[in-house]
């Protein structure tokens, strides 16, 4: 008689940037856990109406691409709508807290029962459900080892600065964290500097995770962030309590290339006609939309640079900016008059979405202008392209510092205090990374090529990330047999 498979339930909350690494984690569990007869289910919170555009289409795409994974959409709690006086992050965390009841009902209904629960960082309130059901609970931290080192240290760091909070130190004040480069207050994750409700909510999450997690998975690899991993293992980020085991299991990125030839996106067919290492790719994530005056500056800079480019443009107006769906506004409406015609022989602009992994891994890709979201950062590293860093929101300013100063795999775009980048800066940096032949740019290309090799080696059988994943699954199976959780 065939043994019943143990099911690992993944709970990413909602948001493309949080779902994407969870899906790659699901594939890794199935790949590594075949002998252990593991199955994977993904529980997804039905988002509030404000964030719901495109949700079901995204779930359908995920199901189609991952037929071995079961997907379950949890009913949204009645209290999940946006409140005008509330900051978006507070709404998200409150919504996910309210969704713990539907999650509990889902887990209780499973036959056979779930063996373990893997949570997104924003789903810390689900630790109570895990404890109630005697499920071992792990977290997938979506922003790398240095991001985790800073995140875990935040409650103690905030307490040390006194009543005024981080913002009282001034935007240019420098903070130091074990395992991370020095950070200005202005480079902390969005919402931390003003000491408002978003800051307090984030601090509560940061304090809760090490109290209840049996282990933390990090989407990174040892040789990309050795200093951060050393600090985490030594317990220096949490001096007043034990640090849960940290498993560095990345890069959890799609290998790409899954689409059949007939279904290849138009931009890939366009890239097929371009010379090797000749195209700069500009893409700013699922929420990376710019006002028209900034789009005009980017267009002018690309035109003046003379370089080949592929540019993903999102409408600055919802729902496209939220949902990642095509905008009703045409590219002609969004971009300066005549730009598309003048650059048609060396550039392509696509509306709202492109298959980023496939673009970055295409032989014609030479550089990546990115918002520094961690998924995009790892996809660029794994593809071996230099990064031109243009952070927009969330923890992206901190990621930019890590990319430029710690990893040394990219350079920053100069911007003013409002995040505005001029056409001259776009032209300058694009020309430099595409045409430059000085020692600095040659060394950058060499480091990027080496990082690509190390990323591939990390996830090969017997590589450090592969071995860390084996250790994680061993602990998960032991914990599920015992029916205990880390408290």
- Secondary structure (H, E, C), the chain: CCCCCEEEEEECCCCHHHHHHHHHHHHHHHHHCCCCCEEEEEEEECCCHHHCCCHHHHHHHHHHHCCCCEEEEECCCCCCCCCCCCCHHHHHHHHHHHCHHHHHHHHHHCCCCCCEEEEEHHHHHHHHHHHHCCCCEEEEECCHHHHHHHHHHHHHHHHHHCCCCHHHHCCCCEECCCCCCCEEHHHCCCCCCCCCHHHHHHHHHHHHHHHHCCEEEECCCCCCCHHHHHHHHHCCCCCCCCCCCEEECCCCCCCCCCCCHHHCCHHHHHHHCCCCCCEEEEECCCCCCCCHHHHHHHHHHHHHHCCEEEEEECCCCCCHHHHCCCCCCCHHHHCCCCHHHHCCCCEEEEECCCCHHHHHCCCCEEEEEECCCHHHHHHHHHHCCCEEECCCCCCHHHHHHHHHHHHCCEEECCCCCCCCCCHHHHHHHHHHHHHCCCHHHHHHHHHHHHHHHHHHHHHCCCCHHHHHHHHHHHHHHHHHHHCCCCC
Asked whether the beta carbons of 13 and 120 are under 8 A apart, the reply is: yes
Residues of the chain above pLDDT 70, percent = 92
Task: Give per-residue pLDDT as tens, 50-99.
Answer: 667 667 778 888 899 899 999 999 988 865 555 656 788 898 899 899 99
Task: Give per-residue pLDDT as tens, 307-340.
Answer: 999 999 998 865 433 334 445 578 999 999 999 9
The stretch 390-404 carries a mean pLDDT of 96
**Closest C-alpha among 272, 225, 281 to residue 248:** 225
Catalytic member of 18, 178, 362, 486: 18
Of 4 and 402, the structure prediction assigns the larger pLDDT to 402
pLDDT at 102: 94
Q: Which pTM was predicted?
A: 0.94
Task: Give per-residue pLDDT as tens, 127-163.
Answer: 999 999 999 999 999 899 999 999 999 999 999 999 8
Q: Could you give the CA distance from residue 216 to residue 248 in angstroms, rounded to a whole number?
A: 9
Count CA atoms within 13 Å of residue 63 on its CB side.
12
Token pair of 183 as six digits:
């950070």
Q: Is 328 a catalytic residue?
A: no
Q: Could you give the C-alpha distances from 141 to 62, 123, 248, 414, in angstroms and in order?
A: 20, 11, 10, 29
CA R_g for the chain: 22
Cis peptide bond upstream of 275, omega within 30: no
Q: Is 178 a catalytic residue?
A: no
Catalytic member of 120, 125, 195, 475: 120
**Closest C-alpha among 443, 308, 448, 313 to residue 378:** 448
Residue 168 has pLDDT above 80, yes or no: yes
Residue 191 has pLDDT above 50, yes or no: yes
């Amino acid at each position: 008689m065939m043994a019943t498979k143990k099911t690992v339930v993944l709970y990413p909350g909602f948001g493309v940037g949080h779902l994407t690494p969870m899906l790659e984690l699901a594939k890794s569990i199935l790949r590594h856990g075949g002998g252990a007869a593991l199955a994977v289910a993904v529980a997804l919170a039905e988002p509030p109406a404000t964030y719901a555009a495109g949700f079901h289409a995204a779930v359908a795409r995920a199901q189609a691409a991952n037929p071995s994974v079961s997907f379950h959409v949890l009913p949204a709690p009645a209290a999940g709508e946006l409140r005008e006086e509330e900051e978006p992050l507070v709404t998200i965390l409150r919504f996910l807290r309210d969704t713990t009841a539907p999650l509990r009902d889902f887990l209780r209904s499973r036959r056979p029962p779930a063996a373990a629960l893997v949570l997104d960082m924003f789903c810390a309130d689900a630790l109570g459900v895990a404890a109630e059901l005697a499920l071992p609970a792990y977290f997938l931290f979506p922003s790398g080892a240095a991001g985790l080192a800073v995140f875990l240290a935040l409650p103690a760091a905030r307490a040390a600065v006194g009543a005024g909070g981080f913002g009282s130190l001034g935007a240019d004040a420098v903070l130091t964290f074990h395992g991370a480069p020095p950070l200005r207050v202005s480079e902390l994750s969005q919402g931390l500097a003003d000491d408002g409700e978003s800051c307090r909510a984030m601090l509560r999450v940061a304090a809760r995770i090490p109290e209840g997690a049996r282990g933390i998975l990090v989407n990174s690899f040892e040789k990309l962030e050795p200093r951060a991993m050393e600090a985490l293992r030594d317990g220096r980020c949490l001096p007043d309590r034990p640090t849960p085991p940290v498993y560095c299991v990345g890069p959890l990125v799609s290998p790409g290339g899954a689409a059949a030839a007939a279904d290849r996106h138009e931009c890939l067919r366009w890239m097929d006609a371009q010379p090797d290492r000749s195209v700069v790719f500009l893409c700013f994530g699922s929420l990376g939309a710019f006002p028209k005056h900034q789009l005009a500056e980017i267009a002018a800079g690309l035109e003046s640079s003379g370089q080949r480019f592929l540019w993903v443009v999102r409408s600055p107006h919802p729902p496209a900016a939220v949902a990642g769906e095509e905008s009703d506004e045409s590219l002609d409406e969004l971009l300066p008059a005549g730009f598309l015609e003048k650059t048609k022989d060396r550039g392509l602009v696509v509306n709202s979405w492109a298959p980023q992994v496939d673009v970055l891994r295409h032989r014609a890709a030479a550089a990546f202008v990115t918002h520094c979201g961690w998924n995009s950062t790892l996809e660029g590293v794994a593809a071996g392209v230099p990064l031109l860093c243009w952070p927009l929101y969330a923890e992206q300013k901190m990621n930019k510092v890590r990319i430029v100063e710690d990893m040394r795999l990219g350079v920053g775009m100069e911007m003013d205090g409002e995040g505005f980048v001029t056409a001259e800066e776009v032209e300058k940096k694009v020309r430099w990374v595409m045409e430059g032949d000085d020692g600095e740019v040659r060394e950058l290309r060499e480091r990027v090529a080496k990082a690509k090799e190390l990323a591939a080696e990390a996830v090969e059988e017997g590589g450090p990330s592969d071995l860390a994943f084996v250790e994680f699954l061993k602990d998960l199976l032991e914990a599920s047999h015992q029916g205990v959780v880390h408290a």
